[in-house]
């Protein structure tokens, strides 16, 4: 889950103890170019204090003004639309005539918020279903294939650690990658069977594993929301992880090393029960070719490539929509 959204839920919990009204504003639909996607959230208090974002600009200003004036609903959910006219789109900084629909939800009982935060802290996915007519909230276990949805009557939002990263090796590059990955909302696991490397690991919030790398991959039960990156420089360890990772549904599998070393690695992998298609899934050398040399630069290159792979489909669709609207 987006760390910004986690801050939104935490703020809702904290503000509920006060006397001011509190609302949760959620983007439920967008058309055209939009600053924030469907599912983006904003916590709003009656005095105008906010956490999160639905547009990063003028829409927040308008909602704050409405809250201070007492113009937001306190006993019902309300669906509002911004950017219907060209003038309104320009006023609210929505490019290319974009339109955004929001659900404004009064939060009078934060029992569900507390439950969601508890589940997130336990690394569980939860699906929150809001019935707009009654403001009733249901919480059920979510699958990693679930996504945000809105049908005009119910809103379904997924909360929890949607993305996971398994790093093989607890070295310096791994430490930089782990810290940066957490900032991008990955739940990070680090596997290193070498006692000395584990003893010096100092990245809080990560799960440190002592299994052999192939066992760690199997134990994690990698899925389409999992990244596996081998960074030990030791073929005996990295290759073990890759043998299982390349057969898994993990959406990204990468390994550190030069082009020459990765060519040799691919040759070694052909000696095992991997198909050519599975071996071709390997990103090696891992990361974007940006001339990175230092550990933090390598970590940046890896995460930049991950962002590119994760967003490739979404970016392609967005560019197509922009061209249609602006033409």
Sign of CA pseudo-dihedral 130, 134, 135, 136: negative
Tokens standing for residue 66: 């409405």
DSSP 163: E
Whether residues 153 and 276 share a domain: the answer is no
Whether residues 286 and 169 share a domain: the answer is yes
Whether residues 176 and 93 share a domain: the answer is no
170: helix, coil or strand?
Answer: coil
Query: Which pLDDT belongs to residue 210?
Result: 95
Asked if 162 and 125 touch (Cβ cutoff 8 Å), the reply is: yes
Q: Is residue 327 part of a domain?
A: no
Question: Does residue 72 register a pLDDT over 90?
Answer: yes
Whether residues 155 and 245 share a domain: the answer is no
Whether residues 110 and 169 share a domain: the answer is no
Number of domains in the chain: 2
Q: Which residue range is the domain that position 214 belongs to?
A: 163-308
Q: Is residue 95 part of a domain?
A: yes
Going by C-alpha positions, the residue among 107, 231, 228 that lies closest to residue 174 is 231
pLDDT in tens, 104-146: 999 988 799 999 998 887 777 899 999 999 999 999 998 867 8
Q: What is the CATH number of the domain that holds 288?
A: 3.40.50.720
Query: Which pLDDT belongs to residue 88?
Result: 58
Whether residues 173 and 114 share a domain: the answer is no
Q: Cα dist. 202→167, 172, 175, 252 in Å? A: 14, 10, 8, 25
Q: Is residue 326 part of a domain?
A: no
- pTM greater than 0.85: no
What is the DSSP track for 210-226? Answer: -S-HHHHHHHHT--TTE
Query: Which pLDDT belongs to residue 30?
Result: 84
């Amino acid at each position: 889950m987006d760390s910004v959204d986690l801050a939104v839920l935490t703020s809702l919990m904290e503000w509920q103890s006060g006397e001011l009204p509190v609302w949760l504003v959620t983007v439920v639909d967008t058309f055209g170019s939009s600053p924030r996607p469907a599912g983006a959230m904003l916590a709003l208090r009656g005095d105008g204090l906010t956490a999160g974002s639905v547009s990063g600009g003028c829409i927040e200003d308008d909602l704050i003004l409405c809250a201070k004036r007492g113009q937001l609903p306190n006993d019902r959910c309300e669906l509002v639309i911004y950017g219907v006219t060209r003038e309104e789109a320009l006023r609210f900084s929505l490019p290319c005539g974009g339109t955004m629909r929001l659900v404004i939800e009064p939060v009078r009982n934060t029992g569900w918020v507390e439950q969601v935060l508890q589940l997130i802290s336990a690394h569980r996915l939860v699906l929150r279903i809001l019935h707009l007519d009654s403001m009733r909230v249901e919480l059920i276990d979510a699958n990693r294939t679930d996504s945000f949805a809105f049908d005009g009557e119910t809103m379904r939002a997924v909360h929890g650690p949607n993305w996971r990263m398994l790093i093989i090796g607890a070295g310096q590059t791994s430490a930089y990658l782990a810290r940066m990955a957490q900032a991008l909302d990955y739940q990070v696991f680090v596997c290193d069977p070498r006692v000395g490397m584990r003893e010096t690991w100092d990245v809080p919030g990560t799960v440190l594993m002592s299994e052999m790398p192939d066992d760690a991959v199997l134990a994690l039960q990698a899925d389409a929301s999992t990244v596996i990156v081998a960074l030990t420089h030791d073929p005996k360890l990295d290759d073990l992880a890759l043998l299982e990772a390349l057969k898994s549904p993990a959406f990204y599998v990468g390994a550190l090393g030069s082009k020459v070393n990765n060519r040799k690695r691919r040759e070694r992998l052909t000696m095992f029960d991997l198909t050519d298609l599975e071996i071709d899934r390997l990103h090696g050398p891992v990361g974007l070719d940006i001339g990175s040399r230092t550990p933090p630069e390598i970590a940046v290159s890896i995460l930049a490539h991950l962002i590119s792979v994760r967003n490739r489909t979404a970016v392609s669709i967005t560019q197509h929509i922009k061209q249609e609207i602006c033409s």
